[in-house]
Amino acid sequence: MTVLAPSTLIVLREASVAYGAVQAVRAATMRVSQGDFIAVVGANGSGKTSLLRLLHGVVAYTGSREMLRPSGVQAMVFQRPFLLRLSVWNNLRIALWLAHPDTATALRDERAEQALRRVGLGALRDRPARSLSGGEQQRLALARGWAVRPDILFLDEPTASLDPSAKKDVEALLADFAADGMTLVMSTHNLGQAKRLATRVIYMDDGRIDIDLPTSDFFASGTPGRAGLFLKGELSWSLDG
């Protein structure tokens, strides 16, 4: 049996996800280590979101998924964040209560305050969460993810539905989170974003992990196979995105 490095958080071995007859992830083998910022790229329907859900453990799978810290906290930010019809403040408090039920309320409230300040929503704490703009809602979702101090934060195309300004704000926050040492795994269509933020890039094709390389290697010329074609097709418009 392979001994995992202490920095390893999650290991997948031949893990697959199927939705009925549709094979979304096929025999994925990979690991996520402390401090990684992994960008998962690929065409629509290539299995990016399913890979994130598999890593997060919120979807049924076959094969092996091993967590080095089974009690560790994970969080996920979805493309369209689901916010409860409550105030911004109560959305944060509920997330903290679910993740850390044994922590003192005062400490949870302090973390919620910190999270709001961090994403620049301090002035909107009493607003109904669903009345925020799309960018503000995504920042609140990021605050909710960050506040629970996760070992890993999963992000499913977090900027896909945002305007350029909101996209820039969210990218800046993600860069801050990464600089703090948080482990992030993000699916994205935006290769420019992957190049700017990630330390590793995974290219998915038809449910398979086709390529898993450090970012600089992935974007170096000569990336083989369909990933190379994908890269050529995307670079012209999305590296500047």
Binding site for another protein (CB under 8 A): 53, 56, 58, 73-76, 78, 81-82, 84-87, 89-90, 94-95, 98-99, 126-128, 130-131, 144, 148, 154
Nearer to another protein, 91 or 188 (CB): 91
- Taking the complex as a whole, how short is the minimal distance between the CB of residue 167 and another protein, in angstroms? 21
Nearer to another protein, 73 or 107 (CB): 73
Nearer to another protein, 22 or 58 (CB): 58
- Taking the complex as a whole, how short is the minimal distance between the CB of residue 97 and another protein, in angstroms? 9
Nearer to another protein, 31 or 53 (CB): 53
Q: What is the DSSP string of the chain?
A: -PPPPTTEEEEEEEEEEEETTEEEEEEEEEEEETT-EEEEEESTTSSHHHHHHHHHT-S--EEEEEESSTT--EEEE-SS----SSBHHHHHHHHHHHH-TTS-HHHHHHHHHHHHHHTT-GGGTTSBGGGS-HHHHHHHHHHHHHHT--SEEEEESTTTTS-HHHHHHHHHHHHHHHHTT-EEEEE-S-HHHHHHH-SEEEEEETTEEEEEEEHHHHHSTT--HHHHHHHHHHHHHHTT-
Nearer to another protein, 82 or 237 (CB): 82
- Taking the complex as a whole, how short is the minimal distance between the CB of residue 129 and another protein, in angstroms? 9
- Taking the complex as a whole, how short is the minimal distance between the CB of residue 56 and another protein, in angstroms? 6
- Taking the complex as a whole, how short is the minimal distance between the CB of residue 124 and another protein, in angstroms? 11
